[in-house]
Amino acid sequence: MAKSLFSPSWYRVAELKVRLRRHAQIHRQKFRGEIWYVLQDHQTGRFHRLSASANLMISLMDGRRTLHEIWDLVGRRAGDDPPTQDEAIHLLAELHASDLLQGELPPDFQELTDRSAKQARNEVINKLRNPMALRMPLFDPDRWLDLTMPLVRPLFTIYGLIAWLALVGTGIALAVLHWSELSSDASDRLLSAGNVALIIAIYPLVKTFHEAGHAYATKAWGGAVHEVGLMLLIFVPAPYVDATASTAFREKWRRVVVSSAGIMVEFALAAAAMIFWVNAEPGLARAAAFNVMVIGGISTLFFNGNPLLRFDGYYIFADLIEVPNLGTRANRYFWYLVQRYLLGITNIDNPASAPGERKWLFGYAVLSFCYRIMLSLTIALLVATKLFFIGVLLALFTVFGTVVMPIFKGLKFLLTTPRLQGQRGRAIALTGAAVAGLATLVLFVPMPYGTVAQGVVWIPDRAEVRADTAGIVTEILTAPDTMVSAGTPLLRLEDPGISGRVALIEAQRHELQLRYEAVRFSDRVEADVLLEQIKNMEGVLASVKQRRDGLVVSAHDAGRFILPKAANLPGRFLNQGDLVGYVVSTATPQLRVIVPQSEVDLVRARTDGVEVRYAGEFGKPVPARISREVPAAQFDLPSLALSVEGGGTVAMRSGNDASGKPRALEGLFVFDVAPQQAGEHLLLGSRVFVRFDHGREPLIWRWVRTVRQTFLSRFNV
């Protein structure tokens, strides 16, 4: 539906003569190949994004031309795509609401007072919406930054970048070399009562340097910083600075540097702390350096550098993909899709104005919303483990702000907005149908339900080929990767001393036999002694002959002969019992699967079927069955490939147990699974994915079970 060029309300504003206030300034920027303009309000610190036609219209507002004359001039210059009168009225209304216009008529002081009070009220409400990140402004640091800027300006040169790279590179190299020492008992050290107090003391100091980095980076390219204050981040005080002046920078890379400055400072602090930690003696100073590394390194990557949170990573990401005001516009775009395609509103502007923006806006709206809920609930859960009542309040506040309030606003919009005039019934019916469909899907429709666990291709003890006798490998009798039957000779070993030992024992036995024959009728007592010695000697001879026969290593069962590093075996000495290779049955390999404690009851009681997918053949599910179950929980893993460090899902305890084995953080249950067929390229010890089918069940009961298990495991309620 084409927009009308004219507006029935134009006569109300056509003769107005207005101009921008002096505290407003326009900056030219380029996004995705298109020219845009940013209107900066120096009085409030706010920014407004303008199109080229809006900028042209504002530039013609000199207090002498009427709005109709300005619209006419802009229409002539725009050619085939002139702005409509409604767009001009909308621009005028936004500028007026932001207190950026002045004209010949005296201002309405009551309106200005009401507008100021409303803005102040909205700021308070916005702060209260996020009680875990409250801000309290303190003072204006701009003059102090001007005085100290010469001291830090060399850091914003190529030499400063080289020095930063050298420092951070040294820190990373030292961290890699000392990783085992750094990670040993890391969780215990971090969460101890004394260390938590130390982190709370160090965190504001690290964040002070972080915010100073933003402030000086802004000043380095002519920006102003007029606010510094304290922010209660999850109730921990931390400083902040208002570096929004960098939004007006024309060059993208300068805006990225300002957003990255805090992270770069923290990385530098972490690297310096790493160097100190390596050379310091154990004590308080070394513990403080360790905490600086954790705050400046790990937490920076996972929180401050995360683009889904409104921290530095968000602004870096938005500038790199050239989508300004990403978070707000993403929410507006999602709401536009709802209004346009669910409610059927056609006279609505699309927030995605530049090519390629739609996918970024939609993806960010969905991902950031889900991540924000998950993070808030996780923080509430962690707080509740120590302060149950406060944690529950935070969780309720999160649900209220992210679920209840949007639903309330949506209902209010649906019932009162004039945009639905004439089609409100249709919109209500469509919305009701969508809600009813979603509720039916969640509450009543049985959905496939299963537990997915990881395991490994297990090696039975009989499949192991070991050296029965110590010796040197002289010959590989059977080619590796071939099928063999039980008893097939696989390897030949050589022990030069064992043949001589057999001959010596046989000679000693023959001597005893001759002595026995000589006295068997004349001396009954000595004959009995010699007979006992002969029996012992025959036992020794049988044992030595068995060892000699063991020089030929044979297969215990039929299967495929697997011989790792076959080329290196000839000439190698093997001790008795050394593992040489495997003879594995390819018909039905044994799989050892681990199931977490939270899912073991479902696997035991509600398994209707088992399905296996091999890592190299994920698209080919194989039916299987449970062949054995270990009834008790254990902390030993069948293979470290199932640990987080090995690419699996099981978190491990820091350090090993008394026997030197690594142990899982939580108890696991082991199941042996027998698939109906093996994979085409199955490797011993390779990862497998096993799905235990529990039939069908509505989603609501799964969520109830998950919440119930969480409360039982965390709070025992």
- The dihedral over CA atoms of 157, 160, 162, 168, expressed in degrees to the nearest 10, equals -140
Instruction: Give me the pLDDT at residue 110, please.
Output: 44
Quick check: is 336 in a domain? no
Give every CB contact of residue 513 below 8 A, 6+ residues apart in sequence: 534
- pLDDT, position 422: 76
> Do residues 503 and 553 share a domain?
yes
State the 10-residue block means of pLDDT for the chain, 717 residues long.
Answer: 71 85 83 80 79 84 86 80 82 83 58 52 56 74 92 92 95 88 64 72 90 93 89 75 87 91 93 92 87 84 82 90 88 89 81 84 91 79 70 76 82 83 82 90 91 85 78 82 83 77 78 80 79 82 74 81 80 81 73 88 90 82 88 83 79 63 82 79 77 92 84 68
Instruction: State the pLDDT at residue 113.
Output: 46
What is the maximum alpha-carbon separation in the chain?
A: 148
The length of the chain, given as a count of residues: 717
The pLDDT value recorded for residue 109 is 39
Q: Are residues 589 and 578 in the same domain?
A: no
Residues 300 and 161 in one domain: yes
Residues 594 and 577 in one domain: no
287 shares a domain with 149: yes
Kindly list the distances between the CA atom of residue 657 and the CA atoms of 182, 594, 654, 663, 664, in Å, as whole numbers in the listed order. 18, 20, 10, 7, 10
Instruction: Tell me if 662 is assigned to some domain.
Output: yes
The enclosing domain of 557 has a CATH number of 2.40.50.100
Cβ–Cβ under 8 Å, residues 175 and 274: yes
Query: What's residue 637's pLDDT?
Result: 82
Q: Judge whether 367 lies within some domain.
A: no
CATH of the domain at 86: 3.90.930.60
| Number of other CB atoms surrounding residue 697 within 10 Å | 15
158's enclosing H/E stretch is helix 158-177
**Are both 427 and 534 inside the same structural domain?**
no
- Is there a single domain that holds both residue 231 and residue 316? yes
Cα separation, 6 vs 627, in Å, equals: 78
If asked whether residues 206 and 312 sit together in one domain, one would say yes
Whether 272 and 228 share a structural domain: yes
What pairs with residue 482 in β-bridges? 561
pLDDT recorded at residue 573: 83
* Cβ–Cβ under 8 Å, residues 342 and 360: no
Q: In this structure, is residue 630 part of a structural domain?
A: yes
Q: Say if 606 falls within a structural domain.
A: yes
Enumerate long-range contacts of 332-341, CB under 8 Å, 24 or more apart.
333/358, 333/361, 333/362, 333/365, 334/361, 334/362, 334/365, 334/366, 337/362, 339/419
**Together in a domain, 27 and 106:** yes
Tokens of 364: 């960010």
Q: Which of 446, 476, 493 is the last residue of a domain?
A: 446
Whether 327 is in a domain gets the answer no
Residue 28's domain comprises: 10-121
Q: How many domains does the chain have?
A: 5
Tell me which of 81, 100, 121 is where a domain ends: 121
Domain boundary pick from 276, 298, 320:
320
The reply to whether 651 falls in a domain is yes
Three-state SS for 63-131 is CCCCHHHHHHHHHHHHCCCCCCHHHHHHHHHHHHHCCCEEECCCCCHHHHHHHHHHHHHHHHHHHHCCC
* pTM of the complete model: 0.68
Q: What was the pLDDT predicted at 218?
A: 93
Shared domain check, 490 and 476: yes
* Token reading at 670: 């082991």
Amino acid in the structure at residue 158: I
The pLDDT value recorded for residue 588 is 66
**What 3-state class would DSSP assign to 635?**
coil
Domain match, 426 and 503 both: no
SS percent in the chain: helix, strand, coil, step 5: 50, 20, 25
Residue 114 domain flag:
yes
